[in-house]
Structure 1
Amino acid sequence: MTQNKAWIAGCSGPRLASDEAAFFADERPWGFILFGRNVREAEELCDLSAALRAAVDRPDAPIFVDQEGGRVRRLRPPLVPDHPAPAVLGRLFALDREAGQRAAYLHGRILAIDLRRFGLNGDCVPCLDVPAPGSHQVIGDRAYGTTVEAVSALGRAAAEGLMAGAVLPVMKHMPGHGRGNADSHLDLPVVAASLEELEAVDFVPFKALNDLPCGMTAHLLFKALDPVRPTTVSPKVIGEVIRGAIGFDGLLMSDDLSMKALAGDIGDLAGAAIAAGCDVALHCNGDMSEMRKVASAVPVIAGKSLARAEKAQRVLAVSPAMDDEDTVRAEFNELTGRLAIA
């Protein structure tokens, strides 16, 4: 049996190029991730999903996407309806906790229905960051609220909804992006908060959901945790905080290594992320020259990482819940519609 390597790959466009297919067949990423550049028409997207899996000869290969609702969504109308940002569910939760949690679960179910229609089976949701006053708005309304109670409860409900639909959730951005003072797509955020502050707020939702199958690191530098290395490449933060204090033993992927928060050669970064304790390195931009470096720098998935990957894949093996789609959407719209008259 051919083994998979410890990375998740993007691709360049809406159709898989022949050189990409051959490269993936050789370098066998554990999974793939799609972005807006990959999404145009329904049939084309289904064909792309099938082609990616055919390239690695794995019908169950995870194909992820960032489909949160609100401003972060790769699939848009007319392929799928627009959905509200997570913060909207937080507003409902503040009015009625039970209604808010139910809406978050239904949102997860709807996202799963939307994605699986096109062969996608992984969603980088829930965002468990707790925004702090004065922080950069890169998180903003992507968060379920500004309290650990709201973020934990709604994040749990959304993840359960996704898994009921046989879609793999990925909680992010560990150990917390809510205090970031910059957009990590462009710069390295630096967090000056004390360990006590981080333990009291930022770590709490991740600890509450530490049984979820997948998590993603934050490209943040925490002065109180490791004043030299950002989380993604910090053995100290991953070992002592994410695996230790938070207690997460699921599959840990890096955030996108091609983001500007991390400086250095992309291959070196991929190797450093794995050495620090990430199970898989995530590379999203589809640039072939960069992908070759990433693939050369990562090992075959083995040991604890393999066990975590196999456990995560079991989420994809369940039969999706047999909820009636129209009923699910109608209930979700009724619950979120209450905000208009509140």
Structure 2
Amino acid sequence: MIFGCEGLTLSRAEKKFFKAEQPFGFILFARNVEDPKQLRKLVKALRAAVGRPDAPVLIDQEGGRVQRLRAPHWFEAKPFGFFGGMYESDPDRAIEALRLTTRLIAADLQAAGITVNCTPCLDLRLPETVEAIGDRAFAADPQVVARLGAVVAEEMLTAGIIPVIKHMPGHGRATVDSHHELPHVTAARPDLEQTDFAPFTALSLLPWGMTSHILFDEIDPDHPATLSETVITTIIREGIGFDGLLLTDDLNMKALSGSLAERAGAALAAGVDIVLHCSGVLEEMKDVAAACPPLTEKARARIELGNRVFDQAPATIDVTADRARLDELLAGVTA
């Protein structure tokens, strides 16, 4: 399990709970962020609470609407859709700008001690795509999504940060927001394999992935992907070929039904490796923890494989030079 926390510092109750339950890692949100000094202190406190200096600390720092670290203390990035639009007219310029953008994000994460970034979003950007995804997605073309997603993943890995591909096996056809209700996708599997699933297949060797709370009517009409053994086994593991560490999206999202303990248990039974609970509400975390057994041997092996990113020294990022070059590339661009 991966948990959030309530505020800018850890309470005594949170420290006691984390020490006892030993979550695999933690995830941060805007409510946990004030300035660089405070953020570094909180990251250290989270790891101290579980007694593991290498405990993963995650964040969603995509760009656009989804970035927890904001100005004036941190770099603010354009959304992925901006780079997808730029790619249509000038692919080389778009790729270079995205590389520089990703490096600047990575520099902020390195400074904070954050080791996992829940990015890139590999969902397609279709006419019907719900606004909750919207310009968080690069493009409608799966090949473009895969190409630009690979740029983000490569730069994160080079910087010593694990990327998380999401939302598997694809959120682009959802027309409602899974934060609020369960989306249904009616497309047939062959069509999905050629479109929505394709970017994930192209990047299936990456170390971490996150599921979507989407119900694919033609694949499993009874369970959303996060809770579906059929989707996880036959689509994500076998069809897409992803054998990395698989996380759920946030268990609190209303696309899922049942208690939090039931959601956690069902996701793990379906084949997810780690459940993600983001609210930071202690009583909710207690319910989730009660439903979570120790990591499986397969999950441990997948973690170890992903941790190879830390075997080499992370790239040193020249923030001043990269920001100057990025500003030059983006001058006059309105994509």
Same structural fold, with TM-score higher than 0.5 when normalized by the shorter chain: yes
Task: Return the match for 2:200 from 201, 206, 227.
Answer: 206
Paired residues, number: 335
- The AA in structure 2 aligned to 1:182 is V
Distance in 2 of aligned mates of 1:146 and 1:140: 11
Given that 1:71 and 1:85 are in contact with CA atoms closer than 8 Å, whether structure 2 keeps it comes out as: yes
Task: Return the match for 1:161 from 131, 155, 163.
Answer: 155
Task: Return the match for 1:230 from 201, 209, 224.
Answer: 224
In structure 2, the residue matched to 1:320 is: 314
What RMSD in Å do the two structures reach over aligned CA positions? 1.3
After TM superposition, the score normalised by the length of structure 1 is 0.95
After TM superposition, the score normalised by the length of structure 2 is 0.97
In structure 2, the residue matched to 1:142 is: 136
Shift of 1:323: 3.4
In structure 1, the residue matched to 2:94 is: 100
Distance in 2 of aligned mates of 1:296 and 1:227: 28
Task: Say yes or no: does 1:277 pair with 2:271.
Answer: yes
For the structure 1 residues 75 and 153, does the alpha-carbon distance in structure 2 shift closer, same or farther, using more than 3 Å as the test?
Answer: same
Which segments of 5 or more consecutive residues in structure 1 lack a partner in the other structure? 1-6
Q: For structure 1, which segment, 318-327 or 11-20, has the greater mean C-alpha deviation from structure 2 after superposition?
A: 318-327
- The AA in structure 1 aligned to 2:329 is L
In structure 1, the residue matched to 2:108 is: 114
Give the secondary structure class of the aligned counterpart of 1:244: helix
Task: Say yes or no: does 1:90 pair with 2:67.
Answer: no
Task: Say yes or no: does 1:49 pair with 2:43.
Answer: yes
Shift of 1:338: 5.2
Q: Which ranges of 4 or more aligned residues in structure 1 deviate by more than 4 Å?
A: none
Distance in 2 of aligned mates of 1:82 and 1:322: 20
Written as runs of structure 1 = structure 2, the 5 A alignment for 1:1-342 is 7-337=1-331, 339-340=333-334
Which segments of 5 or more consecutive residues in structure 2 lack a partner in the other structure? none
The percentage of aligned residue pairs carrying the same residue is 47
Shift of 1:337: 2.6
- The AA in structure 1 aligned to 2:121 is C
List per-residue Cα deviations over 1:95-145 (Å, max 9, x = no partner): 222222222222221111011211212111000000222231111100111
Give the secondary structure class of the aligned counterpart of 1:282: strand
Distance in 1 of aligned mates of 2:99 and 2:54: 24
Distance in 1 of aligned mates of 2:117 and 2:317: 19
Given that 1:175 and 1:217 are in contact with CA atoms closer than 8 Å, whether structure 2 keeps it comes out as: yes
